[in-house]
Amino acid sequence: MPEHAPVALITGSAHRLGARTAQILQERGWNIAIHYRNREDQAHSLAESMNQQRPNSAVALQADLSNITDIRRLGTEAAAQWGRLDALVNNASVFYPNPTPEATEDDWDSIMHTNLKAPFFLLQACLPALRASSGSVVNLIDIYSEKPLADHPLYCASKAGLAALTRSWAKDLAPEVRVNGVSPGAILWPEGDAAVDVGYQSIILAKTPLNRTGTPDDIARTIVFLLAEAPFITGQIISVDGGRSLNM
Protein backbone atom coordinates (compact mmCIF):
# COMPACT_ATOMS: atom_id res chain seq x y z
CA MET A 1 0.00 0.00 0.00
CA PRO A 2 1.47 3.39 -0.94
CA GLU A 3 2.17 5.59 2.03
CA HIS A 4 0.66 8.56 0.24
CA ALA A 5 -2.81 7.00 -0.18
CA PRO A 6 -5.42 9.70 0.44
CA VAL A 7 -7.47 9.42 3.61
CA ALA A 8 -11.17 10.11 4.16
CA LEU A 9 -13.14 10.40 7.39
CA ILE A 10 -16.81 9.54 6.82
CA THR A 11 -19.24 10.05 9.67
CA GLY A 12 -22.04 7.56 10.15
CA SER A 13 -20.40 5.15 7.76
CA ALA A 14 -21.11 1.80 9.39
CA HIS A 15 -24.16 1.24 7.18
CA ARG A 16 -26.36 2.58 4.39
CA LEU A 17 -25.05 5.47 2.27
CA GLY A 18 -21.98 6.11 4.38
CA ALA A 19 -20.83 2.51 4.13
CA ARG A 20 -21.25 2.42 0.37
CA THR A 21 -19.27 5.65 0.03
CA ALA A 22 -16.52 4.16 2.16
CA GLN A 23 -16.41 1.02 0.01
CA ILE A 24 -16.19 2.90 -3.29
CA LEU A 25 -13.46 5.23 -2.05
CA GLN A 26 -11.49 2.31 -0.62
CA GLU A 27 -11.77 0.46 -3.93
CA ARG A 28 -10.25 3.54 -5.59
CA GLY A 29 -7.20 3.41 -3.34
CA TRP A 30 -8.26 5.60 -0.44
CA ASN A 31 -7.81 4.78 3.23
CA ILE A 32 -10.99 5.17 5.25
CA ALA A 33 -11.76 6.19 8.83
CA ILE A 34 -15.19 4.67 9.44
CA HIS A 35 -17.01 6.62 12.13
CA TYR A 36 -19.79 5.04 14.15
CA ARG A 37 -21.71 5.83 17.29
CA ASN A 38 -23.53 2.64 18.33
CA ARG A 39 -23.07 0.29 15.37
CA GLU A 40 -19.81 -1.18 16.62
CA ASP A 41 -20.22 -4.63 15.09
CA GLN A 42 -21.15 -3.24 11.67
CA ALA A 43 -18.32 -0.72 11.67
CA HIS A 44 -15.66 -3.26 12.62
CA SER A 45 -17.05 -5.80 10.18
CA LEU A 46 -16.85 -3.25 7.37
CA ALA A 47 -13.31 -2.28 8.33
CA GLU A 48 -12.27 -5.93 8.50
CA SER A 49 -13.72 -6.60 5.06
CA MET A 50 -11.83 -3.64 3.60
CA ASN A 51 -8.59 -4.64 5.28
CA GLN A 52 -8.88 -8.12 3.80
CA GLN A 53 -9.01 -6.52 0.36
CA ARG A 54 -6.16 -4.13 1.12
CA PRO A 55 -4.30 -4.33 4.44
CA ASN A 56 -4.34 -1.29 6.72
CA SER A 57 -6.81 0.59 4.53
CA ALA A 58 -9.62 1.06 7.05
CA VAL A 59 -10.18 1.73 10.71
CA ALA A 60 -13.36 2.04 12.78
CA LEU A 61 -13.53 5.03 15.14
CA GLN A 62 -16.27 5.53 17.72
CA ALA A 63 -17.61 8.96 18.69
CA ASP A 64 -20.82 10.48 19.99
CA LEU A 65 -21.44 13.46 17.72
CA SER A 66 -23.53 15.17 20.39
CA ASN A 67 -20.41 15.40 22.58
CA ILE A 68 -17.89 18.11 21.70
CA THR A 69 -15.01 16.21 23.32
CA ASP A 70 -15.78 13.16 21.19
CA ILE A 71 -16.05 15.31 18.06
CA ARG A 72 -12.61 16.82 18.57
CA ARG A 73 -11.08 13.45 19.46
CA LEU A 74 -12.55 11.93 16.29
CA GLY A 75 -10.94 14.57 14.11
CA THR A 76 -7.58 14.15 15.82
CA GLU A 77 -7.64 10.35 15.64
CA ALA A 78 -8.66 10.29 11.99
CA ALA A 79 -5.83 12.63 10.99
CA ALA A 80 -3.29 10.73 13.09
CA GLN A 81 -4.18 7.24 11.81
CA TRP A 82 -2.19 7.56 8.57
CA GLY A 83 -0.56 10.93 9.24
CA ARG A 84 -2.83 12.87 6.90
CA LEU A 85 -6.46 13.67 6.08
CA ASP A 86 -7.64 14.47 2.58
CA ALA A 87 -11.41 14.40 2.89
CA LEU A 88 -14.20 14.81 5.40
CA VAL A 89 -17.68 13.53 4.56
CA ASN A 90 -20.31 14.75 7.01
CA ASN A 91 -22.83 11.98 6.45
CA ALA A 92 -24.21 11.20 9.93
CA SER A 93 -27.71 12.53 10.44
CA VAL A 94 -30.72 12.38 12.76
CA PHE A 95 -34.14 12.29 11.04
CA TYR A 96 -37.56 11.98 12.63
CA PRO A 97 -40.79 14.03 12.68
CA ASN A 98 -41.28 16.68 15.36
CA PRO A 99 -44.36 18.84 14.72
CA THR A 100 -43.88 22.28 16.23
CA PRO A 101 -46.61 21.96 18.94
CA GLU A 102 -45.03 18.77 20.30
CA ALA A 103 -41.31 19.40 19.71
CA THR A 104 -39.14 19.48 22.81
CA GLU A 105 -35.80 20.96 23.71
CA ASP A 106 -34.41 17.42 23.63
CA ASP A 107 -35.61 17.12 20.02
CA TRP A 108 -33.87 20.39 19.20
CA ASP A 109 -30.63 19.28 20.82
CA SER A 110 -30.67 15.80 19.29
CA ILE A 111 -31.21 17.00 15.74
CA MET A 112 -29.20 20.20 15.78
CA HIS A 113 -26.23 18.70 17.58
CA THR A 114 -25.78 15.83 15.11
CA ASN A 115 -26.88 17.53 11.89
CA LEU A 116 -25.39 21.00 12.33
CA LYS A 117 -23.17 21.45 15.38
CA ALA A 118 -21.14 18.28 14.82
CA PRO A 119 -20.21 19.04 11.19
CA PHE A 120 -19.06 22.52 12.20
CA PHE A 121 -16.80 21.47 15.04
CA LEU A 122 -15.59 18.32 13.31
CA LEU A 123 -14.44 20.37 10.35
CA GLN A 124 -12.78 22.77 12.78
CA ALA A 125 -10.89 19.84 14.33
CA CYS A 126 -9.91 18.46 10.90
CA LEU A 127 -9.05 21.80 9.31
CA PRO A 128 -5.26 21.85 9.89
CA ALA A 129 -4.89 18.42 8.27
CA LEU A 130 -7.29 19.27 5.42
CA ARG A 131 -5.39 22.47 4.69
CA ALA A 132 -2.09 20.62 4.68
CA SER A 133 -3.37 18.20 2.03
CA SER A 134 -5.42 20.73 0.02
CA GLY A 135 -8.35 18.54 0.96
CA SER A 136 -12.06 18.50 0.34
CA VAL A 137 -15.30 18.35 2.32
CA VAL A 138 -18.67 16.98 1.25
CA ASN A 139 -21.73 17.59 3.41
CA LEU A 140 -24.81 15.40 3.07
CA ILE A 141 -27.70 17.81 2.96
CA ASP A 142 -31.25 17.08 1.73
CA ILE A 143 -33.64 18.34 -0.91
CA TYR A 144 -35.92 19.28 2.02
CA SER A 145 -33.41 21.93 3.06
CA GLU A 146 -34.96 24.15 0.37
CA LYS A 147 -38.57 22.97 0.29
CA PRO A 148 -39.43 21.69 3.77
CA LEU A 149 -41.06 18.39 4.60
CA ALA A 150 -44.22 18.73 6.68
CA ASP A 151 -43.83 18.15 10.42
CA HIS A 152 -40.02 18.09 10.24
CA PRO A 153 -39.16 21.73 11.04
CA LEU A 154 -36.05 20.98 13.08
CA TYR A 155 -34.64 18.51 10.58
CA CYS A 156 -35.26 20.87 7.68
CA ALA A 157 -33.75 23.80 9.58
CA SER A 158 -30.66 21.76 10.45
CA LYS A 159 -30.10 20.79 6.83
CA ALA A 160 -30.73 24.35 5.62
CA GLY A 161 -28.11 25.45 8.12
CA LEU A 162 -25.67 22.85 6.81
CA ALA A 163 -26.29 24.12 3.27
CA ALA A 164 -25.42 27.64 4.46
CA LEU A 165 -22.27 26.33 6.16
CA THR A 166 -21.29 24.57 2.94
CA ARG A 167 -21.39 27.80 0.97
CA SER A 168 -19.77 29.85 3.73
CA TRP A 169 -16.92 27.39 4.14
CA ALA A 170 -16.37 27.28 0.39
CA LYS A 171 -15.63 31.00 0.50
CA ASP A 172 -13.80 31.11 3.80
CA LEU A 173 -11.55 28.07 3.33
CA ALA A 174 -10.55 28.58 -0.29
CA PRO A 175 -8.18 28.09 -1.94
CA GLU A 176 -6.77 25.36 0.31
CA VAL A 177 -9.98 23.42 0.98
CA ARG A 178 -12.94 22.78 -1.30
CA VAL A 179 -16.41 22.35 0.24
CA ASN A 180 -19.48 20.99 -1.53
CA GLY A 181 -22.74 19.29 -0.70
CA VAL A 182 -24.95 16.47 -1.95
CA SER A 183 -28.72 16.55 -1.47
CA PRO A 184 -30.29 13.10 -1.80
CA GLY A 185 -33.88 12.55 -2.78
CA ALA A 186 -35.60 9.17 -2.34
CA ILE A 187 -32.69 6.75 -2.05
CA LEU A 188 -33.20 4.52 0.97
CA TRP A 189 -36.44 4.91 2.90
CA PRO A 190 -36.02 5.92 6.57
CA GLU A 191 -35.86 3.16 9.15
CA GLY A 192 -37.33 2.69 12.61
CA ASP A 193 -39.60 5.38 14.05
CA ALA A 194 -39.09 7.56 10.96
CA ALA A 195 -40.23 4.85 8.52
CA VAL A 196 -42.86 5.85 5.97
CA ASP A 197 -45.71 3.67 4.72
CA VAL A 198 -46.07 2.28 1.23
CA GLY A 199 -48.78 4.77 0.32
CA TYR A 200 -46.57 7.73 1.10
CA GLN A 201 -43.69 6.12 -0.79
CA SER A 202 -45.95 5.92 -3.85
CA ILE A 203 -46.76 9.63 -3.56
CA ILE A 204 -43.06 10.49 -3.46
CA LEU A 205 -42.30 8.34 -6.48
CA ALA A 206 -45.18 9.86 -8.43
CA LYS A 207 -43.48 13.25 -8.04
CA THR A 208 -40.10 11.88 -9.18
CA PRO A 209 -39.65 12.23 -12.95
CA LEU A 210 -37.42 9.15 -13.16
CA ASN A 211 -40.21 7.23 -11.36
CA ARG A 212 -37.98 5.19 -9.08
CA THR A 213 -35.85 5.44 -6.01
CA GLY A 214 -32.15 5.96 -6.40
CA THR A 215 -29.50 3.63 -5.06
CA PRO A 216 -26.74 4.15 -2.51
CA ASP A 217 -24.31 4.07 -5.43
CA ASP A 218 -25.97 7.15 -6.92
CA ILE A 219 -25.06 9.15 -3.81
CA ALA A 220 -21.69 7.50 -3.20
CA ARG A 221 -20.47 8.10 -6.74
CA THR A 222 -21.50 11.75 -6.58
CA ILE A 223 -19.56 12.16 -3.33
CA VAL A 224 -16.54 10.44 -4.87
CA PHE A 225 -16.78 12.69 -7.92
CA LEU A 226 -16.74 15.81 -5.76
CA LEU A 227 -13.83 14.54 -3.67
CA ALA A 228 -11.62 13.08 -6.37
CA GLU A 229 -12.62 14.32 -9.81
CA ALA A 230 -13.79 17.91 -9.42
CA PRO A 231 -10.81 20.11 -8.48
CA PHE A 232 -12.50 23.28 -9.83
CA ILE A 233 -15.84 22.78 -8.07
CA THR A 234 -16.52 24.35 -4.68
CA GLY A 235 -19.56 25.84 -2.96
CA GLN A 236 -22.00 23.70 -4.93
CA ILE A 237 -24.85 21.52 -3.70
CA ILE A 238 -25.83 18.76 -6.11
CA SER A 239 -29.35 17.31 -5.88
CA VAL A 240 -29.33 13.57 -6.59
CA ASP A 241 -33.05 13.02 -6.57
CA GLY A 242 -34.27 11.68 -9.90
CA GLY A 243 -35.73 15.10 -10.62
CA ARG A 244 -37.93 15.15 -7.50
CA SER A 245 -36.98 18.73 -6.61
CA LEU A 246 -38.64 19.86 -9.89
CA ASN A 247 -42.05 18.78 -8.57
CA MET A 248 -41.97 19.51 -4.85
User: Quick check: is 216 in a domain?
Assistant: yes
User: Quick check: is 42 in a domain?
Assistant: yes
CATH number for the domain harbouring residue 117? 3.40.50.720
User: Quick check: is 2 in a domain?
Assistant: no
User: Quick check: is 1 in a domain?
Assistant: no
Helices (H), the chain: 16-27, 40-53, 68-81, 105-112, 118-132, 153-172, 198-206, 216-228
Based on the residue annotation, tell me whether 36 is a catalytic residue of this protein. Answer: no
Domain that holds residue 109: 7-246
Residue 234 to residue 248: CA distance in whole angstroms: 26
Contacts for 117-121: CB closer than 8 Å, 24+ residues apart = 117/66, 118/11, 118/65, 118/66, 118/71, 118/90, 118/92, 119/11, 119/90, 119/162, 119/165, 120/165, 121/68, 121/71, 121/72
Q: How many domains does the chain have?
A: 1
Prediction pTM value:
0.93
At 88, is the secondary structure helix, strand, or coil?
A: strand
pLDDT string in tens for the chain (248-residue length): 345 899 999 999 999 999 999 999 999 999 999 999 999 999 999 999 999 999 999 999 999 999 999 999 999 999 999 999 999 999 999 999 999 999 999 999 999 999 999 999 999 999 999 999 999 999 999 999 998 999 999 999 999 999 999 999 999 999 999 999 999 987 666 555 545 555 667 777 777 888 888 889 999 999 999 999 999 999 999 999 888 887 76
User: Quick check: is 194 in a domain?
Assistant: yes
Catalytic residue among 36, 96, 144, 155: 155
